[in-house]
Amino acid sequence: NETISKNFIENIIDKDLAEGVYDTVHTRFPPEPNGYLHIGHAKSILLNYGLAKEYNGKFNMRFDDTNPTKEKSEFVDSIKEDIHWLGADWEDRLFFASDYFPQMYEAAVKLIKKGKAYVCDLTAEQIREYRGTLTEPGKESPYRNRSVEENLNLFEEMKEGKYGDGEKVLRAKIDMASPNMNMRDPVIYRVAHRTHHRTGDTWCIYPMYDFAHPIEDAIEGITHSICTLEFEDHRPLYNWVVEELEYPHPPKQIEFAKLYLTNVVTGKRYIKKLVEDGIVDGWDDPHLVSIAGLRRRGYTPESIKKFVELCGVSKADSSVDYAALEYCIREDLKLKRPRMMAVLDPIKLVIDNYPEDQIEYLDAPNNMENEALGNRKIPFGKELYIEREDFMIEPPKKYKRLFLGTEVRLMNAYFVTCTGFEADDDGTVRVVHCTYDPATKGGNAPDGRKVKGTIHWVEATHAGKVQVRLYENIVDEEKGVYNKEDGSLNLNPNSLVKAEAYVEPALLEAKGYDSYQFVRNGFFCADIHDSKEGQPVFNRIVSLKSSFKL
């Protein structure tokens, strides 16, 4: 099965190994530390790490921190934490592209000496104008034919801080008539008087991505440099750099399609905006598909791995339904986690023939589909809470829960028959009354009679009162993610509902990240920030029902 379902990258690697292009596989994950990672990055991490594992190769963690303007140490720490959590282990191979600034400078000098790079005094705007268009060739810069000597001097002066930002740049001397715009003498070094998060003020010139990235890969001995599709037409420049710098075993760039989720905010830039505008409560807000947000919501590394595998690796852009991610977390948790009772929208149920002040402890399986999780005891008594929607004064046809005169099963407990109710003038039900049949303890009648419905409950005097948070998409799905006029996000004003719920006493022991199935209500996870000892706050990870089918 594994052999027939190899993806296109595995096919390239197999061919390279067979033809002796490389004799090992060495991949890397190279985030820029300018934000938190999201589900799309998880795909790239698991792909690169997975390939290294599969081929017994190596996996590097590399911070691509060559642009001092947006990078921060806070992001370095969060990125490391998220990658570890996902299970990708870089062992002792943690690198920072900024450590290669000296080699990058030397590489630029080498190009100058070969007559393959020159210092250019055109402004950014002039460079753009001179570049030409897709249908017209560009114009050569008047500085293009400076001598090697002059270029070496000017480049050194750039390094020494003699010029202001934008005053001079170093450009590769390639081809101003190339049909590929990236090859029309791209800028490879610029002046930027900025303090770098690691190198401080050592440098005031910084390499551009297209020059730096292939050098980083080559220095580390990367074989397959996997990136996303938007870099496809940068590949000739990547190849030009490694060729001109004469690396003995040059790396190879391979592009795959980004992961997009339909109607979900994924781009780092947009997540950042939600955080900065205070629309969400930090980078780990449970609404977000940042790795930290997914973790706080209750997603597991296994569920994310399963999701990424389900999506596959391809060359064609496509968008995946969020329901597929939900499917993966349900599948992961359904046998692993206990199924407990919690009432999210409570009304009182009074069992009129149950002895006053009596509490008994009933046996309940922790997960009826997985005996290994064992059993627990749950308190039962005369007054319970049930879900408001589990009783109706005037039920529609086929309603299988409580209404006057019907008998239902209280899960893990007894059969009860509804005998009456108390309601306000506006019809709001306050209390439902019933009688129970002591012979049905455990949930079955000795006389073999059946009931149509089973409802969950919690005993009123032992119940814990907790906050539960029900999340919806932060995006208004009717309108789509982006406003067509100004590109802003279309927000859903009702994307968070907070409710007071009653839960079984055992749930009060939940600690941050502990997750459970609340029967009939979904999977919930104790919030890592807001839960206190004995007083958890639960985030709904996902409801139980789904229209998504594999």
The residues of the shown chain that bind Mg ion, judged by CB under 5 A, are 268
Backbone angles phi, psi at 216, to 5 degrees: -55, -45
CA angle 406, 411, 417 (to 5 degrees): 20
φ and ψ at 344, to 5 degrees?
A: -85, -30
In residues, how long is the chain? 550
Could you tell which of Mg ion, ligand ATP, none binds residue 382, using a CB distance below 5 to 8 A set by kind? none
Using CB under 6 A as the binding criterion, the count of chain residues that bind ligand ATP stands at 15
CB 212 to ligand ATP: min, Å? 12
Angle between helices 209-220 and 101-113 (to 10 degrees): 110
Tokens of 377: 């005891």
Do residues 521 and 544 touch, judged by C-beta distance below 8 A? Answer: yes
CB 297 within 8 A of CB 286: yes
Q: Which amino acid is at 213?
A: H
**Contact 213/226 with Cβ under 8 angstroms?**
no
Q: Binding pattern to ligand ATP, positions 6-45, x when CB under 6 A?
A: ------------------------xxx-------xx-xx-
Minimum CB distance to ligand ATP smaller for 64 or for 459: 64
Identify residues 41-80 at the interface with ligand ATP (CB under 6 A).
41, 43-44
Q: Which does 43 bind (CB under 5 to 8 A by kind): Mg ion, ligand ATP, none?
A: ligand ATP
Residue at shortest CB range from ligand ATP: 40
Give the per-residue contact string, 258-287, with ligand ATP (x = CB under 6 A; - = no). Answer: xx------xxxx------------------
What is the closest distance, in whole angstroms, from the C-beta atom of residue 43 to ligand ATP in the complex?
Answer: 4
| Minimum CB distance to Mg ion smaller for 184 or for 268 | 268
By a kind-dependent CB cut-off of 5 to 8 A, residue 258 interacts, out of Mg ion, ligand ATP, none, with ligand ATP
Q: Can you name the residues that pair with 526 across neighbouring β-strands?
A: 538
Residue with Cβ nearer ligand ATP (259 or 474): 259
* Cβ at position 546, least distance to ligand ATP in Å: 23
Q: How far apart are the first and last CA of the chain?
A: 18
Contact 491, 279 (CB under 8 A): yes
Tokens of 508: 């009060």
Residue with Cβ nearer Mg ion (215 or 362): 215
Site for ligand ATP in 193-232 (CB under 6 A): 227-228
Q: State how far the Cα of 41 lies from the Cα of 28, in Å rounded to an integer.
A: 12
Nearer to ligand ATP among residue 41 and residue 184 (C-beta): 41
Q: Which is nearer to ligand ATP, 41 or 196 (by Cβ)?
A: 41
- Please report whether residue 234 would count as binding ligand ATP according to CB under 6 A: no
Cβ-based nearer residue to ligand ATP, 63 or 523? 63
Residues 246/279, Cβ–Cβ less than 8 Å: no
Q: Compute the distance between CA of residue 142 and CA of residue 75 in angstroms, rounded to an integer.
A: 42
Least distance in Å: CB of 264 to Mg ion? 17
Q: Got the DSSP string for 394-424?
A: SPPTT--SB-TT-EEEETTS-EEEEEEEEE-
Q: Which residues of the shown chain bind ligand ATP in the complex (CB under 6 A)?
A: 30-32, 40-41, 43-44, 227-228, 258-259, 266-269
